[in-house]
């Protein structure tokens, strides 16, 4: 079953309790991880997603991940955390080290989708860019527009986005509907629009390593 974006945003996804490896991931990555599992036949990897809206309170991410690891570590041979730093200021990395579990590298998902090395080289040129992924385009209102109060107070837009110049949509899939929606998001924020296809980037490579198999680094249709 493909979970709904609303469920992934607000409630997350419970593990199926199958497989030897548990991926503890952000709900914003569920579709991509499930697609990679399907494409590569990674049935030995189970997936638990924490609510994606934890990103609205980054200080809650580390304790939530730690609680998930503690809850499930006896049931699996290995747990891998599929969160980047995500605004925790290194605290998630330190907690994972303390718990003896590994996590994916990078400051944010939009860095590892691009490929962390490639993203870092663009940092100087793109520091005024606001990034959206497939999930964030679909959930733009739930993640950006409403939490920032722009639905009620559009006059705040300049305070939030006045220093940005561009919106870059990092597309994990080729979807004209998402492209059009992302373009609309850029217009609503008053930013120039760019679409950049990334596929799954480092996510596919890293999960292949965790799975112990080679990955098909392709995007689903």
Partner 1 sequence: MADDDEIILSELSDDELVLQMHDDLYDGMKEEIEEGVNILIARGWTPYDVLTKALVAGMTIVGADFRDGILFVPEVLLAANAMKAGMFILKPLLVETGAPRMGKMVIGTVKGDIHDIGKNLVAMMMEGAGFEVLDLGINNSVEKYLEALERERPDILGMSALLTTTMPYMKVVIDTMKEKGMREDYIVLVGGAPLNEEFGRAIGADAYCRDAAVAVETAKMYVARKHNQLSA
- The residues that touch partner 1, with contacts defined as CB under 8 A, are 58, 85, 87-91, 107, 123-124, 127-128, 147-150, 152-153, 156, 159-160, 163-164
* Strand ranges for the chain from DSSP E: 21-26, 45-50, 78-82, 102-103, 129-132, 166-171, 192-197
Closer residue to partner 1 (CB): 71 or 105: 105
Closer residue to partner 1 (CB): 17 or 153: 153
DSSP-derived secondary structure letter, 4: P
Closer residue to partner 1 (CB): 42 or 161: 161
Closer residue to partner 1 (CB): 164 or 193: 164
What strand order describes the sheet that includes 102-103? Answer: 45-50, 21-26, 78-82, 102-103
Least Cβ distance, residue 152 to partner 1 (angstroms): 7
Least Cβ distance, residue 1 to partner 1 (angstroms): 33
The two tokens of residue 39 are 């494409």
Least Cβ distance, residue 149 to partner 1 (angstroms): 3
Least Cβ distance, residue 103 to partner 1 (angstroms): 13
CB count within 10 Å of CB 10 equals 13
Least Cβ distance, residue 137 to partner 1 (angstroms): 21
> Which residues, in sequence order, are CB contacts of 96 under 8 Å at separation 6+?
65, 81, 102, 103
Q: Are 220 and 39 in contact (CB under 8 A)?
A: yes
Given the structure tokens 């605004």, which residue do they identify?
87
Closer residue to partner 1 (CB): 87 or 220: 87
């Amino acid at each position: 079953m493909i979970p709904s974006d609303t469920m992934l945003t607000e409630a997350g996804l419970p593990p199926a309790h199958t497989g030897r490896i548990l991926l503890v991931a952000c709900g914003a990555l569920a579709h991509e991880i499930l697609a990679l599992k399907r494409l590569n036949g990674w049935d030995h990897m189970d997936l638990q997603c924490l609510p994606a809206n934890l990103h609205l309170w980054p200080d809650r991410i580390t304790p939530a991940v730690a609680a998930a690891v503690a809850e499930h570590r006896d049931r699996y041979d290995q747990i891998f955390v599929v969160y980047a730093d995500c605004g925790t200021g290194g605290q998630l990395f330190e907690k994972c080290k303390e718990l003896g579990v590994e996590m994916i590298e990078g400051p944010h998902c939009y860095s590892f989708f691009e490929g962390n090395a490639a993203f870092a080289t663009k940092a100087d040129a793109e520091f005024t860019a606001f990034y959206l992924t497939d999930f964030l385009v679909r959930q733009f209102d739930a993640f950006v527009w409403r939490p920032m109060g722009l639905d009620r107070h559009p006059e705040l837009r300049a305070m939030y986005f006045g220093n940005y110049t561009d919106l870059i949509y990092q597309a994990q899939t080729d979807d004209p509907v998402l492209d059009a929606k992302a373009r609309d998001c850029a217009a609503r924020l008053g930013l120039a629009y760019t679409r950049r296809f990334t596929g799954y980037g480092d996510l596919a490579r890293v999960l292949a390593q965790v799975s112990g198999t080679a990955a098909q680094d392709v995007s689903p249709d």
